[in-house]
Amino acid sequence: HQIDLALKKAPIPGEFSLVYQPQYTAHSKQLIGMEALLRWNSSELGFVPPDAFISIAEENGVIIPLSEWVMKESIRQITEWNRRYGLSLAMGINISPLQLDDPRFVSKLDALLAEAGAEPKWINLEVTERSAMKGEKVLADLFKELSRRNISLSIDDFGTGYSSLSYLKRFEIDYLKIAKPLVDGLADNETDRQIVQAIVMIATALGLRTIAEGVEDESQLAILDHLGCDEIQGYFFGKPVNPQEFERLHLKRE
C-alpha cells in the first residue's frame, strides 16, 4: 500500500534510473550486449528493489509511463555507446506483459528508434513466459512484426514458469534466457544440469540462441560452455552498474 501510493507520486524519470549488466559470449568471452535494469530511489521509502515494485506498478498502471521511459532511455544509451565505440551491441529491455496489450506498442517502438537514430538489431526485448502463454494470434503477429524489423526477442526466466514448449514453434523468438535457479544448481545438481542440457538441445533444434542468467563462477561458465550455451549474464562477468561504471568496466578496455 505504501509502495502503491509512493509509486503514484514518484516523478519519472526523477526518482528512477537504469543500471546495466553485461552479456558475454560463453566461449570466446566477447561483450555482445547488456540488460537494462530499473532502479527506484524513492524520496519517501528510500531504495525499493524491482521485485517489490514492478508488480504493484503493473496493478496501478504506473508501469506504462515508466516502461516508456525505460525504453526511451535504454535506446538512447545503446545508440550513444554503439556510436562512440563503433560497436553493434544489443540492449536487452524487460517488457511487461501489459505493454504487449497496447496495440500501438510496435509503432511506439518505431518512433523511439527513429528519434534516437538506433538500428532495430541493437534491441532485444525480454518477455516472460507469462506473456508468451497468452498464446493469442495477436501476440504471434506482434512477434512477427518485431522479427521482420530485426528486433530480437528473448523468453526471460525460461525453465521456471509454465514452460509449455508449444509456443516456441508458434512465435518468432530468438533467445531462450535460462533462469538463474537452474544455473545455481549446475555444479552440484545433476537434475538441473540435465534440464539445462535439454533446454540447449531444444533451442539448437529450433534454431534459437541461449543465454544463461545468474552465472557467478568459473565452474558454471565451463559447464554452460561445454553444454553449448551461447551467452552468459551474471556476476562472473559483471554486476548491474550505472552507465559510467559500465563504460569504465566493459567498454573502455583498449
Contacts with Mn ion by CB under 5 A lie at: 94, 126, 156
35 binds Na ion, rule: CB under 5 A = no
Looking at beta carbons only, is 162 or 235 nearer to ligand G?
235
Q: Rounded to an integer, what distance in angstroms lies between the CA atom of residue 173 and that of residue 56?
A: 28
Which residue reads 568471452 in cell numbers? 29
155 binds ligand G, rule: CB under 6 A = no
Maximum C-alpha span of the chain: 50
Of 14, 15, 16, 17, the residue nearest 244 (C-alpha): 17
For the bound state, the minimum distance from the C-beta of residue 254 to ligand G, rounded and expressed in Å, comes to 26
Give the DSSP H or E segment for 42.
strand 31-42
Restricted to residues 110-149, the positions that interact with ligand G (CB under 6 A) are: none
Tally helices (H) and strands (E) across the chain: 12, 9
Residues 5-44, one symbol each (x = binds ligand G by CB under 6 A, - = not), give ----------------x---------------xx------
For the bound state, the minimum distance from the C-beta of residue 49 to ligand G, rounded and expressed in Å, comes to 6
Of 94, 88, 72, 113, the residue nearest 33 (C-alpha): 88
Q: List the beta bridge partners of residue 209.
A: 175
156 binds Na ion, rule: CB under 5 A = yes
90 binds ligand G, rule: CB under 6 A = no
Looking at beta carbons only, is 79 or 94 nearer to Na ion?
94
85 binds ligand G, rule: CB under 6 A = no
Q: Rounded to an integer, what distance in angstroms lies between the CA atom of residue 104 and that of residue 243?
A: 29
Q: Which residues make up the interface to ligand G (CB under 6 A)?
A: 21, 37-38, 49-51, 54, 67, 70, 94, 96, 156-157, 180, 213-216, 234-235, 240
